[in-house]
Structure 1
């Protein structure tokens, strides 16, 4: 039972009808389909608190599972604020690791192997044993591929067959990856190491083979709640089944329209098929969006509904129409907020102009009173951040790069926590709203001032970090009341440091769309929305295109009040306008037809803005390879002939100067990466590129020898060469 009866009596207060239904359905399987911004965390934390308060749940036998340490920490904080203690809120890996460390002596014996934090060094060693060399970027790709294999429960022996059709890291085929996979496993065994996927795999093995341990685990945990269920991997689902042991006290929460990690092995099929697995399950849909304005919600709904209408079969490479891939019926969100500004669509001449335009818009938002921490710039690939970093620095706008130095690793934060811990020992009588004042006094010695410094750079960043500690103390003093002490603050900081749950730091957030999942801001800029970036150039199947659409949906639904969508016509200043707006914008941008018309007539637009609109949408196409010579019509037999589209006896039909430029570029690129030139592109592929003179990423991808990864690495450079613009 809770120690806070005054809070407990209000646990269900303030919930809407659907949230209340979720919170009061305490027994049996429950599936909550929760759209973006619909209060899913509120619903499940109140459900847990209500279950504990009514005595249905034993808090010490309840396990809530999330996908990030930050989300787990947030859930623990909310439960504590509801007066509910003892519930375990952990990630799958954290929960499994805790069990593994406890049961290892009994199940295996000896000391628990150390964990591998990063696979790259182990993979480099495995590659050396195989007398193979590869660069660090490729090793990171290989690490991701091995993680996919393990969470998909594939061994080195079964990997090659399972990976058929997957894009391989540059220079590798499925059999080569399988050999490296085995070599990586051998290196770990030799050094008595395990990785994070092994933690789950070993626990699965223990629970399957040790009935006594399985019974002990199932006795410990009786109730399970799983957040972000659309991102569960086959391995996590198997472990969850073993934890349950045939019982049905399971609540899952998810949204298939936010499945954006399929490349890691995550799949929404467990969410979509939950009713088949649990026929007696209760289904609750949360569709009331409390985050975004009606204008933003309408844009998000239309993005998904456009794909929903594409139910007719599509032509395959042989002309035969096949079924469209599975597409879950999306939740149609209903905004609960007042109307706001229409989303802004802006077309810019190049990347530098885009970054400058956005910096100017951010300045205006700051002048309007929106805090920097409530503004985000979201992009498809991390490499796009540099232009915005430069533009913001030039404009004197503070920013934080998500994925940079961790908050609790910063020197001023480590020193601040040490000094707050020391102050807590001699400030036992300081409580409630007195705590923030004492925090400010303590942090003065580290450079904190009431007013932000005018300086930028490191001085401003340090102040922003210390100010985040002050702001957190003020927030907790408000929510925790008169019983909140400096000691409680230090304990909160220690817990947050352990889970990397950083407080809010002032500064515009620069982040990839994938890393923005689960976050929200008042104003969001979705940038680089050009074909080749959104959808990404290597998305060449309908499944890939669908995932890119969901990724854009996640980006749109991060915004509360203001939304900006931008794209560029060329990469560099003065470059030819070879880029096109993302196909997804055709159904959203009201000026799409006029923009496309201007492009067809050769006119460029430096930047335009408009409200939401509607229109058609294209779809990804399969590559087609010519079977006859384009010059004489003879059937082509060899791979080299099919690449170029002509017989080897027929004269070339390409610009020889372009071919020589491509060869020179290939040589400099291969030398910079310390690899043979043919690994970049073979001569036959260069000839094919020169013959076809592709204008767009999609056209380049149709050329044999240009895969998805090569398009991502070299596509822009090649297109600039083909279209007559020197590479940067």
Structure 2
């Protein structure tokens, strides 16, 4: 099989560029996955590179699986020796292998989002701080952002009280992570960098091993990931990064677009290859998307083109409200299906914020049209799934305090919150963690002297410790499935969960998790548990999305990246939604919103609908929003306009009309005016604009924030 046979000239150039640094700028739908897969196959089959000397980094587990399947067809058995996976998965392997050099036990567990929040709450409690005053999720976000910039607690500023509290919580949080032999997602990356920087001999071993390093979705990397890549590629410099600055949409996850924009500065001898031929969309869809993204300054220009048909222009639809917007989407999908143009699985409805799904879901339910909400509760976040995983994590690492506290009374053993608080207090007095305290209770009944536990509670706690010890012992001889079954049986979890109101569904989820465990059955005792726990910890919501959907997909624009659908509806095409109101006044964030819109449009193969509502409920109040400024970037000849369904007495054209009689009786304001409101107090007018039959005023209030009002309803007067 000729590796290069089915590649276009640009793709072929990208595959053959194997020496030195390479930057592949891959437009949407340009066959990027084919290129990165064929490039690895080319290195193995044509150049003769040992697969063991190649590292290929992907953005998601799903992308890694897809790449592995494609490579298996191209180079067969060679794939098993390749280092292929996400940054987090690869770093986890490195740390299990060599982390002992920086005091990391190879049996560490990986804390997910919920685990991190639990640990931050515990940190607040330890520091006698109120979680209502210092929101755990906000603290988690600040700590994660600091880690992505390689900042420790001591590096944080302490200029304000909140910053000082954050620094103290961060410090305590890290202490608790260490005590639990746990790493969060950011630590997987940070600790790998720390390992290499503190141990040149270990770094040299990895540098010598990896002759070629390839990184996909490079525009989504953060500072730590880029530092890791530069360290690993430091010897041979055969580093190939693939990405598209126009699709950098994850700054809120600390992705740094500067990594890809400045790659040529860091590697002046880099070869740059542009993939501009699109295989997904029609030319009119590409033209509209190009006009949207061309207004950005932080980008590397590309000229997308396709040999596909010209197609139909994107359709702009204006509805009256979010309910009408949702109804239009459902009815149009139904029309397309009745006309034989599409199947329901061909359609995706994309939105900017999760809150927008409410009206959409109600409409789909009302019309009886099946749908899949990708933003819904993820499988691995379901209570019963997390419970069983917590038991398994305790077998792997009994010092995992978060998991211990989660299941010590699940199923109920008569151990209440007060007993757990007492256990924590006593364990600290003894200078041990909670698990070690349980072992002390189990080893000697006299140990409980001085504890305010009932005999029943002592028996329950000691019994839990004995059970856990037996699980740990059995894990050395049982395969992954047998261990799974033992845990579910001996804990009484099946009886517990089937006794709940929705017990049958919850039990089905546990059986589904058992099916995942089957994939690790053939690994050696101990190794199967480690691999299983690592696999479930690093999965993402998009990883759970089937390759072939049989129902309409409801999905956020952020989650839609990397996917494609014949028909795409993007709802909420209004200023304040797309772009988001928090980003409008920040040039860098506004550019990211534009990229997000670009990503949404370029998911479509055949048709794009850009839908907006004239009036929408936002943050508890009804507002009239202008059409998205991104719609104005697209020339009118590249768009068609649909008709609104049920509402005819509304329009935004009133901005140009004579002032309605109603407005003559309302007060006039301008930006900068000082005003007062009965409920919110005094503030300053940020914006004032006319809308049909009314006016909208935006006011920044002291201590309350920015509020929008329709003037006919607002009780506002000049201060």
TM bucket, shorter chain:
0.5 to 0.7
Structure 1 equivalent of residue 631 of structure 2: 585
In the alignment, the residues of structure 1 paired with residue 221 and residue 274 of structure 2 have an alpha-carbon distance, to the nearest angstrom, of 19
Q: CA shift at 1:220, angstroms?
A: 2.8
| Change in 2 beyond 3 A, CA 1:603/1:31 | farther
Mapped pair 1:349 → 2:320: yes
Mapped pair 1:28 → 2:73: no
| Change in 2 beyond 3 A, CA 1:258/1:580 | same
Kindly provide the CA deviation profile for residues 228-264 of structure 1, in whole angstroms up to 9, marking residues without a partner as x: 1111111111111221233211111011111111122
Kindly provide the CA deviation profile for residues 511-537 of structure 1, in whole angstroms up to 9, marking residues without a partner as x: 111111111111111101111111111
In the alignment, the residues of structure 1 paired with residue 123 and residue 533 of structure 2 have an alpha-carbon distance, to the nearest angstrom, of 38
Q: CA shift at 1:331, angstroms?
A: 1.5
Match of 2:49 among 32, 45, 57: 57
State the number of aligned residues.
Answer: 539
Tell me if the contact between 1:378 and 1:510 (Cα under 8 Å) persists in the aligned partners. Answer: yes
| Change in 2 beyond 3 A, CA 1:405/1:240 | same
| Change in 2 beyond 3 A, CA 1:341/1:496 | farther
Structure 1 equivalent of residue 253 of structure 2: 264
Mapped pair 1:115 → 2:110: yes
Tell me if the contact between 2:682 and 2:702 (Cα under 8 Å) persists in the aligned partners. Answer: no
In the alignment, the residues of structure 1 paired with residue 142 and residue 621 of structure 2 have an alpha-carbon distance, to the nearest angstrom, of 36
| Change in 2 beyond 3 A, CA 1:699/1:305 | farther
Q: CA shift at 1:178, angstroms?
A: 3.0
Structure 1 equivalent of residue 95 of structure 2: 100
In the alignment, the residues of structure 2 paired with residue 223 and residue 375 of structure 1 have an alpha-carbon distance, to the nearest angstrom, of 39
In the alignment, the residues of structure 1 paired with residue 134 and residue 374 of structure 2 have an alpha-carbon distance, to the nearest angstrom, of 20
| Change in 2 beyond 3 A, CA 1:231/1:575 | closer
Mapped pair 1:597 → 2:692: no
Structure 2 equivalent of residue 151 of structure 1: 148
| Change in 2 beyond 3 A, CA 1:401/1:18 | same
Match of 2:233 among 230, 233, 244: 244
Tell me if the contact between 1:373 and 1:506 (Cα under 8 Å) persists in the aligned partners. Answer: yes
Structure 1 equivalent of residue 300 of structure 2: 329
Q: CA shift at 1:149, angstroms?
A: 1.2
Mapped pair 1:719 → 2:709: yes
Mapped pair 1:505 → 2:500: no
Q: CA shift at 1:109, angstroms?
A: 6.4
Mapped pair 1:77 → 2:69: yes
TM-score by length of 1: 0.67
In the alignment, the residues of structure 2 paired with residue 706 and residue 567 of structure 1 have an alpha-carbon distance, to the nearest angstrom, of 32
Q: Which runs of 5+ in 2 are unaligned?
A: 386-503, 505-531, 642-649, 661-669
Mapped pair 1:282 → 2:275: no
Tell me if the contact between 1:585 and 1:592 (Cα under 8 Å) persists in the aligned partners. Answer: no
Tell me if the contact between 1:33 and 1:285 (Cα under 8 Å) persists in the aligned partners. Answer: yes
| Change in 2 beyond 3 A, CA 1:544/1:53 | same
Q: CA shift at 1:283, angstroms?
A: 0.9
TM-score by length of 2: 0.68
Higher RCO structure (Cα 8 Å, ≥6 apart): 2
Tell me if the contact between 1:352 and 1:572 (Cα under 8 Å) persists in the aligned partners. Answer: no
Mapped pair 1:160 → 2:157: yes
- Segment drifting more, 573-582 vs 52-61: 573-582
In the alignment, the residues of structure 1 paired with residue 307 and residue 124 of structure 2 have an alpha-carbon distance, to the nearest angstrom, of 55
In the alignment, the residues of structure 1 paired with residue 652 and residue 535 of structure 2 have an alpha-carbon distance, to the nearest angstrom, of 49
Match of 1:134 among 131, 136, 143: 131
In the alignment, the residues of structure 2 paired with residue 393 and residue 514 of structure 1 have an alpha-carbon distance, to the nearest angstrom, of 24
| Change in 2 beyond 3 A, CA 1:235/1:136 | farther
Match of 1:541 among 553, 563, 586: 586
Tell me if the contact between 2:617 and 2:623 (Cα under 8 Å) persists in the aligned partners. Answer: no
Mapped pair 1:191 → 2:180: yes
Helix, strand or coil: the match of 1:560?
strand
Match of 1:295 among 275, 281, 284: 284
In the alignment, the residues of structure 1 paired with residue 153 and residue 533 of structure 2 have an alpha-carbon distance, to the nearest angstrom, of 40
Mapped pair 1:338 → 2:309: yes
Match of 1:554 among 585, 595, 599: 599
Structure 2 equivalent of residue 397 of structure 1: 369
In the alignment, the residues of structure 2 paired with residue 45 and residue 396 of structure 1 have an alpha-carbon distance, to the nearest angstrom, of 41
| Change in 2 beyond 3 A, CA 1:581/1:691 | closer
Kindly provide the CA deviation profile for residues 51-89 of structure 1, in whole angstroms up to 9, marking residues without a partner as x: 111143211221100121111111111111223423222
Tell me if the contact between 1:689 and 1:700 (Cα under 8 Å) persists in the aligned partners. Answer: no
Tell me if the contact between 1:104 and 1:112 (Cα under 8 Å) persists in the aligned partners. Answer: no
Match of 1:215 among 201, 204, 211: 204
| Change in 2 beyond 3 A, CA 1:494/1:189 | closer
| Change in 2 beyond 3 A, CA 1:134/1:625 | farther
Q: Which runs of 5+ in 1 are unaligned?
A: 1-8, 309-326, 414-458, 460-492, 605-623, 631-644, 646-652, 664-682
In the alignment, the residues of structure 2 paired with residue 197 and residue 577 of structure 1 have an alpha-carbon distance, to the nearest angstrom, of 39
In the alignment, the residues of structure 2 paired with residue 279 and residue 35 of structure 1 have an alpha-carbon distance, to the nearest angstrom, of 22
Structure 2 equivalent of residue 311 of structure 1: none
In the alignment, the residues of structure 2 paired with residue 582 and residue 288 of structure 1 have an alpha-carbon distance, to the nearest angstrom, of 28
Helix, strand or coil: the match of 2:280?
coil
In the alignment, the residues of structure 2 paired with residue 407 and residue 191 of structure 1 have an alpha-carbon distance, to the nearest angstrom, of 25
Structure 2 equivalent of residue 13 of structure 1: 5
Helix, strand or coil: the match of 2:357?
helix
Superposition RMSD on alpha carbons, in Å?
Answer: 3.9
Structure 2 equivalent of residue 42 of structure 1: 34
Tell me if the contact between 1:694 and 1:719 (Cα under 8 Å) persists in the aligned partners. Answer: no
In the alignment, the residues of structure 2 paired with residue 572 and residue 404 of structure 1 have an alpha-carbon distance, to the nearest angstrom, of 21
| Change in 2 beyond 3 A, CA 1:494/1:36 | farther
Structure 1 equivalent of residue 473 of structure 2: none
Kindly provide the CA deviation profile for residues 117-147 of structure 1, in whole angstroms up to 9, marking residues without a partner as x: 2211111122223333335994333322221
Kindly provide the CA deviation profile for residues 641-697 of structure 1, in whole angstroms up to 9, marking residues without a partner as x: xxxx3xxxxxxx65xxxx33xx2xxxxxxxxxxxxxxxxxxx5xx32169987889x
In the alignment, the residues of structure 1 paired with residue 608 and residue 557 of structure 2 have an alpha-carbon distance, to the nearest angstrom, of 14
Helix, strand or coil: the match of 2:615?
coil
| Change in 2 beyond 3 A, CA 1:575/1:520 | same
